[in-house]
Amino acid sequence: MGALIRLQIAAVRDELATRPEGLQRHIERVLTEARDLAARWDADPDRAELAVAGHDLFRAHPEAELLRLAREAGLPLLPDDVASPIMLHGPLAAVVMRERFGIADEEVLAAVRDHTAGLAEMPLLAKIILLADKFEERKRKRTPVMKEIRRLAWRDLDLALLCWADWKWVEERRHSWGTYPTHWTARQRWVREHHVDVALPGRVSEAEFETA
């Protein structure tokens, strides 16, 4: 398994080397964050590297090309995908990683596919890649709140995802942007699960309920 995944990483990186230099630098910044999170949450660092290497293979492609390639790959297209084809770069990369590079690890493919908007249910690796992508160093400098979400991710990945989704929702309202359907569904689930969780017995210390 170790030798195979290193070969897969090398193959994807060879493809990545044909992409713009700025995109390649972004990949390296995301990899730094993903490695740290993988170590913190006991995830496989090689699987994290494979997902990071592939997640933005099609990020720099023109929108018309993304739509053409997605149709050729047989990807289901939502009206939101046609309106904003950039949302297809993750799903398209997952297809290519499976079909061209022979990658069958479903959690790696899910991390690549869903890193842009998230999904209501995500494996650990997908959570790590999404968050690492959002708060890599350059993005933290551009959007300071990402520093706090990064800090939170070291304590609670799910809460970090929810805080990112809340920030994203505010930004969409502020700029009159649309909300991608699967992201909205995910955010609703994350909000509901968070509020159920904080209401569970034992989360608040008994001392807070003591009377004088």
Q: Judge contact between 51 and 111, C-beta under 8 A.
A: yes
- What values do phi and psi take at 98, rounded to 5? -75, -50
35-60 confidence digits (pLDDT tens): 999 999 999 999 999 999 999 999 99
Give the three-state DSSP class for 144: coil
* pLDDT for the residue 96: 97
* pLDDT for the residue 192: 87
Domains with residue ranges and CATH for the chain: 2-199 (1.10.3210.10)
C-alpha distance across the termini of the chain, in Å: 61
CA neighbor of 128 nearest in space, from 61, 48, 57, 202: 48
From residue 121, alpha-carbon distances to 9, 25, 156, 187 in Å are 26, 29, 16, 11
Higher pLDDT, 182 or 17: 17
Give the three-state DSSP class for 123: coil
Q: How many CB atoms lie within 10 A of CB 61?
A: 18
Give the three-state DSSP class for 89: helix
Q: What is the pTM of this model?
A: 0.90
